[in-house]
Amino acid sequence: MEGLLAGYRSSAFDEMVDADGVPHAHTKSLYEALQLLSAADLTERGAARARSFLEQGITFSSSGREWVFPLDLIPRLIPEQEWEHIEAGVAQRVRALEAFLADLYGTRQVLADRVVPHSLVMTSQHYARAAAGISPPNGVRVHLAGIDLVRGSDGMMRVLEDNLRVPSGISYVVENREALTRVFPGLFLEQQVQPVANYVATMLDSLRASAPGGVTDPTVVLLTPGVHNSAYFEHAFLARKMGIELVEGRDLVCRDNVLYMRTTSGQRRVDVVYRRIDDDYLDPVHFRGDSMIGCPGLVNAARAGNVTLANAIGNGVADDKLVYTYVPELIEYYLGETPLLPNVPTFRLDDPDVLAHCLDRADQLVFKPVDGSGGHGIVIGPQATDAELADIAAKVRALPRAYVAQELVLLSTVPSQDGEVLAPRHVDLRPFATNDGERVRVLPGGLTRVALREGSLVVNSSQGGGSKDTWVLTSRPRPLTADPPVELLPSALQADAPDPGPGTEQAQQQQQSRGARC
């Protein structure tokens, strides 16, 4: 059959078709629908998507530039049975990491039993001594997690990294679905797709459940670094959707270990802070003394049990990519279970023999900073120049604790728009999980990030990547809360534009841009 996918092939595992170009059983309906589209149809619908995003201000900014967050029109489909395995594996991982953080900032039995080396934790850049002894009201430190998954050439899903500090991207999941229901309304009538409409409500339930004891109607706020942060759109979006106040550090004040928010009618007590500021900038009393975007006394209020910080301070130690190599052992140690989702094969370079072996294979491996994010500092051996390989070898020899090496995973591909044709582009998947103290809920689908440049394996938005809507298929009837299909080419939603507030000094702008991880 001629059409947009005629002759489509991928050199990697493809999520749409097999090696012979035949659609997988769960993608056949979508494949046939796409074959009926012309290049002009694709262009027209792409223009409608771009207009909608631009008018709503769905943007991402980096290095002083701001652009419409790229959404590729072709969704990524996950069959029901596979999603159940992913869901169980992500929940298992979050429960183990939650137990690890509670132990690490409590009795430290995991260190006494030498499951994780004491020196590894103490040398982690994101280990926070200020978090020691703080016991969250409902025992939850990981209120929202983003676990990055990749599928390799063998078709197996593996965990690439964990994000337990301030994981971003949940707003784009919701907006991507909204856009696809407008651009391809008919597809949702043919497919049974699990909805994402409850994402934000589930997240708010988790935050409210974490309020200090005795608080029946908690006041929840979202703490943002400010309008100059790359993820400010998401901060404003989530605050608006949850119906909570979007605040900056200057809007808060601590008095007698109690946190208050300044309002036009006076000060109002705050019970839960969903913070989108990294630890270093959160409280100048305990962290960086020059922070202009945090709130002095916030950590003391949390220690006194008068306010909950979500996510908790100190979670970054679990994001350390050297700690990541021990997560399978942590799952067995805390849960007594075999990991459902394996790690990508990773080498600990603080072992001299392993270091020598990896440097001999530098042109075959991927080198990553253990505390890196956003794709920065990564060297992909097969794509690196001789100069880049020599540079990373020198850095690794000088600071082996600061890096890990991983086997290269040729990420799976999904058909993606490339002008007027569809071409394979590499993708990963970030499922989001919430924890209310009683249950870890893995929200259906998650954020599929796509490397829009041909051959690129870097999917991060700050490195030129985009996203796709992720459809988790189900055999169950469409629930009443399903994402509703709407008209084909509507005017954009008129979102309430957030008030950016007064201008800031240059130093504060710089802290805003750096203050939250994306």
Of the pLDDT bands very low, low, confident and very high (cuts 50, 70, 90), residue 509 is: low
For residue 149, report the phi and psi dihedrals to the nearest 5 degrees. Answer: -120, 150
Task: Kindly state whether residue 512 falls inside one of the protein's structural domains.
Answer: no
* Mean pLDDT computed over every residue of the chain: 89
- Asked which of 390, 408, 426 is the last residue of a domain, the reply is 408
Instruction: Kindly report the number of other CB atoms within 10 A of residue 362's CB atom.
Output: 18
For residues 352 and 330, state if they share a domain. Answer: no
What angle do helix axes 170-183 and 39-56 make, rounded to 10 degrees?
A: 130
Helix axes 170-183, 199-209, angle to 10 degrees: 160
In this structure, the answer to whether residues 301 and 392 fall within a common structural domain is no
Q: How many domains would you assign to the chain?
A: 2
Q: Provide the strand spans (E) within 65-107.
A: 65-68, 71-78
Residues 169-182: what's their mean pLDDT?
90
**pLDDT at 182 > cutoff 90:** no
- According to the model, what pLDDT value does residue 404 have? 97
Asked which of 363, 380, 408 is the last residue of a domain, the reply is 408
Backbone φ and ψ of 263, nearest 5°: -130, 170
Sign of CA dihedral 184, 433, 318, 136: positive
pLDDT digits (tens, 9 = 90+) for 333-342: 999 999 999 9
User: What's the one-letter identity of residue 152?
Assistant: G
Q: What's the confidence (pLDDT) of residue 512?
A: 63
Indicate whether 57 belongs to any domain: yes
* Domain identity same for 313 and 351: no
Neighbours of 63 (CB within 10 A): 8
Torsion angles phi and psi, residue 259, rounded to 5: -95, 135
Predicted confidence (pLDDT) per residue in 449-501, tens digit? 999 889 889 887 766 689 999 999 988 655 545 665 433 333 222 333 333 33
Q: Is residue 116 part of a domain?
A: yes
Confirm if 69 and 59 have CB atoms less than 8 A apart.
Answer: yes
The reply to whether 204 and 257 lie within a common domain is yes
| Structural domain includes residue 457 | yes
What dihedral angle (degrees, nearest 10) is formed by the CA atoms of 43, 45, 48, 52? -120
Same domain, 355 and 419: no
Of 315 and 495, the structure prediction assigns the larger pLDDT to 315
- Binning pLDDT at 50, 70 and 90, where does residue 130 land? very high
Q: HSE-up of 467 (CA within 13 Å, CB side)?
A: 30
Domain of 368 in residue numbering reads as 345-408
For the chain, first and last CA: distance in Å?
42
Whether the pLDDT of residue 502 is over 50: the answer is no
Q: Is the pLDDT of residue 109 over 80?
A: yes
Residue 271 predicted with pLDDT over 90: yes
Residue 335 and residue 378 in one domain: no
* Position with higher pLDDT, 217 vs 518: 217
Residues 61 and 115 in one domain: yes
d(CA 86, CA 341): 7
DSSP state of 297: T
* Percent of the chain whose predicted confidence (pLDDT) is above 90: 72
pLDDT, tens digit, for every residue of 196-214? 999 999 999 999 999 999 9
Burial class (CB in 10 A: 0-12, 13-18, 19+), 110: buried
Helix (H, G, I), strand (E, B) or coil at 480: coil
* Residue 297 counted as domain residue: yes
Using alpha carbons, select from 484, 491, 414, 493 the residue that is nearest to residue 185: 484
Q: Which of 167-176, 177-186, 338-347 has the lowest mean pLDDT?
A: 177-186
- Tell me the pLDDT tens digit for each residue of 9-48: 999 999 999 999 999 999 999 999 889 888 888 888 888 7
Mark whether 390 and 445 lie in a shared domain: no
Rounded distance, CA 359 to CA 17, Å?
37
On whether residue 507 sits in a domain, the answer given is: no
> What's the whole-number mean pLDDT along residues 332-355?
97
> What is the 3-class SS of 489-510, one letter each residue?
CCCCCCCCCCCCCCCCCHHHHH
Residue 317 lies in a domain: yes
Under 8 Å between Cβ of 278 and 231: no
160 vs 457: CA distance, rounded Å = 13
Residues 6+ apart with CB under 8 A from 110: 100, 103, 104, 116, 330, 333
* Residue 6, domain member (yes or no): no
CA proximity to 309, closest of 331, 280, 277, 287: 277
State the Cα angle at 342 between 340 and 345, rounded to 5°: 170
> For 70-92, what is the mean pLDDT?
95
- pLDDT of 483: 67
Say whether pLDDT at 112 is over 70. Answer: yes
214-242 pLDDT tens trace: 999 999 999 999 998 888 989 999 999 99
Q: Do residues 317 and 358 both lie within one domain?
A: no
User: Quick one: 169 and 147 in the same domain?
Assistant: yes
Render the burial of 12-28: b for 16+ CB within 10 Å, e for the rest.
Answer: bbbbbbeeeeebeebbe
How sure is the predictor about 267, in pLDDT bands with cuts at 50, 70 and 90? very high
User: 278, 32, 334: which is closest to 165 by C-alpha?
Assistant: 278
Q: Residue 363 belongs to a domain with what CATH number?
A: 3.30.1490.270
pLDDT in tens, 413-434: 999 998 888 999 999 999 999 9
Q: Are residues 389 and 443 in the same domain?
A: no
Task: List alpha helices for 308-428, DSSP H.
Answer: 316-319, 327-335, 352-360, 386-398
Per-residue DSSP letter, 484: P
pLDDT, average across residues 382-394: 96
Same-domain status, 312 and 240: yes
Considering 186-190, 191-195, 246-250, 514-518, the range whose residues carry the highest mean pLDDT is: 246-250
Look at residues 408, 438, 462 and tell me which one is the last residue of a structural domain.
Answer: 408
Residue with the larger pLDDT of the pair 164 and 67: 164
pLDDT reading at 391 higher than 80: yes
